[in-house]
Amino acid sequence: MKTREIEEVLEALWVCREKNSHHLEALKECCDIPVEPRFLSKLQKDGLITCDGEMVVLTQAGKDRAEHVIRRKRLAERLLVDVLNMSLRQAEEEACEFEHILAPQVTESICTLLGHPRECPHGRLIPEGKCCREARNVVDNVVIPLSQLETGETAKVAYISTSSHPRLHKLTSFGLTPGATLKVHQKSPSYVISCAQTELALEKDVVRDIYVWRGP
């Protein structure tokens, strides 16, 4: 069972829990992937759920892990809608990818950047993170435009601010997604960066759309 499959089932169980429904049929209706018996056996063996007949319930360990998945997805939806002006439908589709790849530090920084939102664009609660409880008012490793980096500097992608959906999809297809590490190799006449073991030449108007955290 892959990590992504585990997270999909845990996410569905969390949503069912919000609806106060723990029945297997509710889980199957809510989950984006087929809920195979082997998935439930694996989750039960790992101590993430308990099964009693047709009832499937998250353990505390399962709740903790599901909470992180839900938090990543709903913060990603907020980022895509609030910063990138995506429609709810598009944001939900893209967030399904981000929920599996956002690192904890990136998740916390996005939350702080957005002002610790309490709800996703659909009105569902976003679980609190450490940054919310500490009420941090500044983002660690301040977010800056990629254009401010010097040649040789490394950084992590925070978000891409563009109203051009084709451009966004093109950049993400190159691996330029939140949390991805990049390095600046050249700034003139065009920008040359490396990301995911690939060198990319970017026009300056494209570079202005990419926001990053400076690397260590």
* 47 and 83 both lie in a single domain: no
pLDDT band at 56 (very low <50, low <70, confident <90, very high): very high
44-55 burial: b if 16+ Cβ within 10 Å, else e: eeeebbeeeeee
Neighbours of 43 (CB within 10 A): 24
* 121 and 166 both lie in a single domain: no
Number of separate domains in the chain: 3
* 54 and 76 both lie in a single domain: no
* 198 and 174 both lie in a single domain: yes
* 52 and 113 both lie in a single domain: no
Selected residue with higher pLDDT from 161 and 108: 108
pLDDT of 140 over the 70 cut: no
* 120 and 179 both lie in a single domain: no
**Of 101, 134, 167, which residue is a domain's last?**
134
pLDDT of 182 over the 80 cut: yes
Predicted pLDDT of residue 68: 95
Selected residue with higher pLDDT from 30 and 86: 30
Predicted pLDDT of residue 138: 55
pLDDT of 202 over the 70 cut: yes
Q: Which among 25, 48, 104, 183 is positioned nearest to 39, based on CA atoms?
A: 48
* 88 and 52 both lie in a single domain: no
Q: 79-125, pLDDT tens digit by residue? A: 888 888 788 888 888 888 888 888 888 898 888 888 788 899 888 99
pLDDT of 199 over the 90 cut: yes
* 79 and 49 both lie in a single domain: no
Q: Which CATH number fits the domain that encloses residue 94?
A: 1.10.10.10
Helices (H) and strands (E) counted in the chain, each on its own, are: 9, 8
* 43 and 98 both lie in a single domain: no
Amino acid at 36: E
Q: Which among 61, 94, 62, 60 is positioned nearest to 75, based on CA atoms?
A: 94
Domain range holding 14? 3-58
Predicted pLDDT of residue 136: 56
Q: What is the mean pLDDT of residues 44-48?
A: 96
**Of 134, 154, 170, which residue is a domain's last?**
134
Predicted pLDDT of residue 135: 62
Predicted pLDDT of residue 91: 86
CA distance 67 to 72: 9
* 150 and 210 both lie in a single domain: yes
Predicted pLDDT of residue 191: 93
Q: Which CATH number fits the domain that encloses residue 210?
A: 2.30.30.90
Q: Which CATH number fits the domain that encloses residue 47?
A: 1.10.10
**Of 134, 158, 185, which residue is a domain's last?**
134
CA distance 197 to 186: 16
* 74 and 25 both lie in a single domain: no
Predicted pLDDT of residue 100: 85
Tell me the pLDDT of the chain averaged across its residues. 88
CA distance 199 to 206: 15
* 210 and 147 both lie in a single domain: yes
Q: Who's near 124: CB < 8 A, 6+ residues apart?
A: 18, 74
Selected residue with higher pLDDT from 145 and 154: 154
